Amino acid sequence: MNPITQSKDHLKASQTNYFAHLRQAFTLGFILIYAGILSIIHSLLPFLFPASSANKVTWMYVRVILDSANPEIKAFNAHELALREARLAKQ
């Protein structure tokens, strides 16, 4: 399958258009970079930003995974939750 068709299929499954997707993906990418920088600073100076990265990742999880219209993302989430339940059951 060619990249154009794959992109169109992804946008359709996500129920969005190119520019809305561009804005969201670009914004979320910068938020991840920001969270990573905060984590690095926190690793060196633990009193700074104690929950900032976790809060950003949790916010992104809710926004991207739980609120997603894309069935591939929902399936991945269900799979990961099942793996988590299996790990917890072993403890």
CA dihedral 7, 10, 11, 16 (to 10 degrees): -150
pLDDT tens readout for residues 52-82: 999 999 999 998 888 888 899 889 989 999 9
Neighbouring CB atoms inside 10 A of 35's CB total: 19
The domain segmentation of the chain, as residue ranges, is 3-90
The number of angstroms, rounded, from the C-alpha of 51 to the middle of its chain's C-alpha atoms is: 17
What does pTM read for this prediction? 0.77
Round to whole Å and give the CA distance between 35 and 73.
22
Confidence of residue 1 (pLDDT cuts 50, 70, 90): confident
Q: Which of 17, 32, 19, 13 is nearest to 70 (CA)?
A: 13
